[in-house]
Structure 1
Amino acid sequence: MVKLDKIYTKTGDKGKTRLSTGEPVDKWHPRVTSYGTVDEVNAALGVAALHTDGDMLAAIRRIQNDLFDLGADLATPDRGKELSWEPLRIVASQVERLEAEIDVMNADIAPLDSFILPGGSPLAAHLHVARTLCRRAERQIAELFGMEDEIVSPEALAYANRLSDWLFVAGRVANNNGVDDVKWVPGANR
């Protein structure tokens, strides 16, 4: 388990931070940007959690925990060096759980006949904010994934991709299973 007894290190004062391996990097390194955006998704889900309970709250809390796993995965590059500890990685079962939950949630929702605007209920609005942040994290992870000198597990990228889908469907669930979705009307304000 993590033990943090000192919160500030002052290394950030010079634009640097350290990955979990101890490797120093710039604060704007694509790896730091990726797991920083994952943290933004987690914070947005913390706000969404204030607007729900029961199964949805339990699912959000599970996902928040997974997002720490994803951040740990991204903060621990595979450089081929032996580590004194087993790095935490996203695994296929975490992605598969999201897929199964999407299928269950989506079963009771009518198919889309239009794009929808982010909003509706407060929970749906917060889930859509989390979804857009997740899409940004996904783009950043994909960029890192495509870099020649960086290694990112396919499961980490898949998790971010699937989570944004989960958040979209959960937003529809939060809008009375899509009944209260706010539909886009093309050219409505011309």
Structure 2
Amino acid sequence: MTDKTRINRVITRTGDKGDTGLADGSRVSKNHPRIVALGELDELNGTLGVLRTHRLDEDMDTLLAALQQRLFDIGGELAIPGRVVIDDHDLVEVESQADTLNAELPPLKEFVLPGGHPAAAWCHHCRTVARRVERQLVALRNDDVDAINPVSLALVNRLSDLLFVMARLINQRNEHPETLWAPKG
């Protein structure tokens, strides 16, 4: 097998014994917190991709496409320890988008249950996956404070907030009432 053939192959067999390579050439166990974080991030990006298969307003689809790009940037940071791509501008952009979309909504007075319009329900699912990514990034940071870009961690935190706002707005734009929590007792 030539080097060119090996580069183009999807199946490399290099991880058959339970380790995997980072982009810097180092190898770590497939259950290393960095690899778990990469997997969680990949799942989040995949759920955003499924969300985008729903009929969404153009502003939301464009926003989700940009968010998928930023998630790949965070993955690049994780794949090359010490690399920093996400910056304060990215964080401000996510906050700004959340504020802009939230301005279209009535004030929240009760807890909202996930669900509603199918796209809103998927948005809620994406939000919960984003929270899991955030927890895994915190676990990685707790192992090594320099292991992640703190702005990337903050961006994932803001992303889950943005996805909550988007879910509410999708329900509103589709005239689907939100289901509010009815506490027992």
User: What is the TM-score normalised by the length of structure 2?
Assistant: 0.90
Matched pairs, number: 177
Counterpart selection for 1:141 from 128, 131, 137? 137
- Equivalent residues of 2:51, 2:122 under 8 A apart: yes
Task: Give 1:75's aligned amino acid.
Answer: A
- Equivalent residues of 2:84, 2:149 under 8 A apart: no
Match of 2:76? 72
Counterpart selection for 2:162 from 166, 173, 181? 166
Q: Which has the higher helix share?
A: 2
- Equivalent residues of 1:145, 1:152 under 8 A apart: yes
- Give 1:118-157 correspondences, 5 Å limit: 118-148=114-144, 150-157=146-153
Alignment pair present for 1:11 and 2:14: yes
Contiguous gaps of at least 5 residues in structure 2 = 1-6
Match of 2:91? 95
Alpha-carbon distance in structure 1 between the residues aligned to 2:11 and 2:71 = 23
Match of 1:180? 177
- Equivalent residues of 2:112, 2:179 under 8 A apart: yes
Alpha-carbon distance in structure 2 between the residues aligned to 1:54 and 1:164 = 20
Shift, 1:151, TM fit = 2.2
Alignment pair present for 1:30 and 2:71: no
Alignment pair present for 1:58 and 2:62: yes
The runs of at least 4 consecutive aligned structure 1 residues that moved more than 2 Å come to 148-151
User: What is the TM-score normalised by the length of structure 1?
Assistant: 0.87
Task: Give 1:5's aligned amino acid.
Answer: N
Counterpart selection for 1:42 from 32, 42, 45? 45
Percent identity at matched positions?
Answer: 41
Alignment pair present for 1:21 and 2:24: yes
Q: Give the SS at the match of 1:109.
A: coil
- Equivalent residues of 1:144, 1:150 under 8 A apart: no
Q: Give the SS at the match of 1:116.
A: coil
Cα offsets for 1:38-71 (capped at 9, x unmatched): 1111110111101114111101111011110011
- Greater displacement, 31-40 / 140-149: 140-149
Q: CA RMSD in A?
A: 1.7
- Equivalent residues of 1:17, 1:26 under 8 A apart: yes
- Equivalent residues of 1:42, 1:67 under 8 A apart: yes
